[in-house]
Amino acid sequence: MAAIEPTRNHSFHLGRALAIVGIALALALGAFGAGAAASLGAITVFSRSTTPQPAPTVEPVVPSPSAVAPIPTPAPTPTPNPRQTGKVIVVAIAEQRLTAYEDGAVILTSIVATGQPALPTPTGTFHVMSKSAPYKFVSPWPKGDQYWYPTEWVSYAMLFADDGYFLHDAPWRTVWGPGANLTRGSHGCINVPKAAMATLYGWATVGTTVIVE
């Protein structure tokens, strides 16, 4: 019996050792498997994170009407005033008044008489075409016509429009100023009192602007 006991003890210890080694091996394999799984998970996550994604669609930004700066409107070019340059004679039919300007300064102002309603003085911008002193007026209408007038001489006459429209004195006239054209208007010429016409004749030159308005 004494010879058998050592063999038993030896087998027992060997079995314990093998069991311990088996447990350790199982733990090692388990740890390796977990690490491998973690590595695969990490690889999978990395692969997902590096997969190129489509670029997001960017909608164009359209500025609102209020955000668009308005285009500045250039200031209109002022219309030159013909009364401010050179010699200008202005006749206002409504006021039956003549004013002479030189470079914007008033040289002369006077009452006048313009054409009657049936034979009105033309309006617009004209120029002195000729000057005569004295000048004889002969009626273009035959005697007996309602517009006929006897031959008359005037001291100063300045033609300013075709068809015989003159600025001239009128020794036969007694009615001047507002309403004169409506009650005793001329045949279309602009009648000017003699003293004022003498000054106007001496001051104006051929080419002087005449504005009738």
The per-residue b/e assignment along 138-157, b for 16 or more CB within 10 angstroms, e otherwise, is eeeeeeeeeeeeeeeebebb
What pLDDT, in 10s, does the model give residues 97-122? 999 999 999 999 999 999 999 999 99
Please enumerate in sequence order all residues whose Cβ is within 8 A of that of 141, keeping only pairs 6 or more positions apart, or say none: 147, 148, 149
Angle, vertex CA 164, rays to CA 162 and CA 168, nearest 5: 120
Give residue 44's pLDDT band: very low, low, confident or very high (50, 70, 90): very low
Right CATH for 82-212 from 3.40.50.720, 2.40.440.10, 2.40.30.20, 1.20.1090.10: 2.40.440.10
Token representation of residue 44: 């999978």
Give pTM, 2 decimals: 0.64
